[in-house]
Amino acid sequence: MKKFILYPLSVLVCLSITSCDKDFEEINQNPFSPTQTDIGPLFNKVVSDLRLGWDEQFYLHNEALYQVTQQAALTAETFQNINIGTEDVWKRYYLSLAHIREIERRLDEYKGNPQALDNVRAQLKIILAYTTFRITDLFGDIPFFDAGRGFEDLEYARPKFDSQEAIYKALLEDLQWAAEHINTFPNPHTDDGNPMVSFGDFDKLFFGNMLRWVKFANSLRLRHALRMVEKDSDYARPILQNIIENNLPVIKEGEDVGMWPVQQGWLRESVNWSFREHNKLRMGSNMWHQLSEDDATDGSGIFDPRAKIFFEPNNAGEWAAFPQIPDANTTPSGGIPYGQHRDNNYTIKGQTNIYSPFNFYLIRDEVDIPEIILTAAEVHFIKAECYLRGLGVGQNEAEADGEYTNGVVASLTFWQNVFVNSTIWVNAPPTLTTGQIFAVSNHPRISIFTSTNKLEYIYRQRWIDAFRQPWEAYSLTRRTKMTPHEGNLAEHYRFPYPPSEAENNPTNWSNQLSKMGEDSPKTKIWWIP
């Protein structure tokens, strides 16, 4: 922890003037508006830190999570150096947390009307909540309340671990405060008539649209209140009730939250690198059987158009899934389906590429395809589960059916827009009309009206929608144990702490391990039933 906390001291001075981030730096050429402060560039850095890490994707997503969630198949366990991935996640989070704490400190020193800071404080709380939920959902208990404060006092240089339960509840309270205090009026003013402080051009997530910030806060409250409902129903249910029954604003179709390279001025180079260098992921039989009625190699059994967005045929032009549970007789996978040579020689995937790879353009496009944070479809599926199970709201099967269907349509539309909006995507599947998309949602394998287990359908479609969010599918799988799978689900509930934590924060790390019993993937985190 020491090196992760002390390092930001050297960059904070630079960040007060420039973002120190090459991919976002062009916005710093814009002059501040009268209501902006020098926290703008620092906030810009915090937003840029929402991007996924290179090693995180290689070692945690591609090497572990796709296999654990069974959203894809790992054809060979070659690397297994999970520590590189956990170090990447850990380091980037605590550097970003130090930036957030510095902004908080500057806001606390503001001499004007505190109400003038409501919007920027709320935006900061929402970013803090999202990033912290992500890391605590991967590790469980983490240093949080005292973490990132090494610049304040050396007593914080090695912060103690805090319980996931305490962290969850603090973040949910922060999100409620944020949603209730954001002023969504154009050119907002305080009650005494003075302009409110704004991040202005440095808000590269929603570009100053404060209502979108409110929707994001409420949607995160839904996601994480539902995630903890099995462990503390009395705390979680009122949150679900408050948002759903009062119809509070949440993310809707066309408002999907993500890091959009073309809008934010950066290149999504890490994704192709992680697939190209790893080269072990292929379409697995589990996902294939959720998208196709049979194993016809010509793809004639495909009933879900997302199959042709997520994956593509093998080198021979055939649809072939790698067995989710291979045996000694399974033919190895090979080829070079993710190589950049395909920019000019698209059909060349390598003779030994006998299993369907991820769609080349889905992982190659560096400009138009986002890193997804939260979709409108996910919000619909969350509401569908709440209505079906009567969580915080009265049990209402008809409402559940409606939310589920809207979620499927939103997911199909979102994923279609992914390839429609890509400037490099060729050999794309046909673009469906709205009527055709609704027809897909009525397919017997998708329509909830033909289901004898509606909850299973909800979880399946939420799992499919999270195809490029394996960390979210991981949380859904751990909570419900009802996502699609072949064989037994892996007993994988968390990632071990990175080795640097034992080295740099030994006393608190040791105390935490004594509390947990063992630093193992088999040790359940707090909210897992």
Q: What is the pLDDT of residues 170-201, one digit of tens each?
A: 999 999 999 999 999 999 999 999 999 999 99
In degrees, rounded to 5, the angle at the alpha carbon of residue 220 between the alpha carbons of residues 219 and 225 is 105
Average pLDDT over all residues of the chain: 92
Please give the full DSSP string across 439-501, using - where no structure is assigned: HHHTSTTT-GGG-S-HHHHHHHHHHHHTTT-HHHHHHHHHHHS-S--SSSPP-----PPPHHH
d(CA 477, CA 70): 10
Residue 64 structure tokens: 């572990």
CATH number of 1-208+497-529: 1.25.40
Lowest-confidence pick of 34-38, 163-167, 324-328, 405-409: 34-38
Please give the full DSSP string across 76-99, using - where no structure is assigned: ------HHHHHHHHHHHHHHHHHH
d(CA 402, CA 396): 10
Lowest-confidence pick of 79-88, 294-303, 404-413, 430-439: 79-88
Residue, of 6 and 468, whose pLDDT is higher: 468
The helix-helix angle for 82-108 and 8-15 (nearest 10°) equals 50
Coil vs helix vs strand at 25: helix
Q: Does residue 267 contact residue 367 with C-beta atoms inside 8 Å?
A: yes
Q: What is the predicted pLDDT for the residue at 29?
A: 34
The pLDDT tens digits for 344-382 are: 999 999 999 999 999 999 999 999 999 999 999 999 999
Dihedral sign, Cα of residue 472, residue 476, residue 482, residue 488: positive
In degrees, rounded to 5, the angle at the alpha carbon of residue 77 between the alpha carbons of residues 468 and 498 is 75
**Average pLDDT of span 379-399:** 98
Q: H-helix or E-strand containing 514?
A: helix 506-516
Q: Does residue 25 contact residue 19 with C-beta atoms inside 8 Å?
A: yes
The pLDDT tens digits for 114-135 are: 999 999 999 999 999 999 999 9
Residue whose tokens read 């090459």: 22
Residue whose tokens read 């994988």: 492
Lowest-confidence pick of 94-103, 153-162, 223-232, 432-441: 153-162
Q: What is the predicted pLDDT for the residue at 98?
A: 95
d(CA 475, CA 382): 13
Band of residue 57 on the pLDDT scale cut at 50, 70, 90? very high
Using a pLDDT cut of 90, give the percent of the chain over it. Answer: 90
d(CA 54, CA 60): 10
d(CA 429, CA 447): 22
Coil vs helix vs strand at 235: helix
Q: Which residues touch 117 (CB under 8 Å, ≥6 apart)?
A: 107, 110, 196, 197
Pairing of strands 257-259, 73-74: unpaired
Coil vs helix vs strand at 302: strand
d(CA 411, CA 417): 10
Band of residue 17 on the pLDDT scale cut at 50, 70, 90? very low
Band of residue 213 on the pLDDT scale cut at 50, 70, 90? very high
Q: Does residue 312 contact residue 353 with C-beta atoms inside 8 Å?
A: no
C-alpha distances in angstroms, 87 versus 56, 112, 316, 362, 473?
A: 8, 40, 39, 26, 21
Residue, of 16 and 411, whose pLDDT is higher: 411
Q: Which residues touch 253 (CB under 8 Å, ≥6 apart)?
A: 376, 410, 413, 414
Q: What is the predicted pLDDT for the residue at 78?
A: 75
Residue 339 structure tokens: 């190589």
10 Å CB burial of residue 516 (0-12, 13-18, 19+) is middle
Rounded to an integer, what is the distance from CA 345 to the centroid of its chain?
A: 32
**Average pLDDT of span 481-494:** 97
Helices (H), 49-142: 54-55, 66-69, 82-108, 118-139
Coil vs helix vs strand at 403: helix
Band of residue 53 on the pLDDT scale cut at 50, 70, 90? very high
The pLDDT tens digits for 412-471 are: 999 999 999 999 999 899 999 999 999 999 999 999 998 999 999 999 999 999 999 999
Give me the residue spans of the domains in the chain. Answer: 1-208+497-529
pLDDT above 90 (res 385): yes
Q: H-helix or E-strand containing 504?
A: helix 499-504
Band of residue 339 on the pLDDT scale cut at 50, 70, 90? very high
In degrees, rounded to 5, the angle at the alpha carbon of residue 222 between the alpha carbons of residues 218 and 489 is 145
Q: 10 Å Cβ neighbour count for 499?
A: 13
Coil vs helix vs strand at 402: helix
Q: What is the predicted pLDDT for the residue at 45?
A: 95
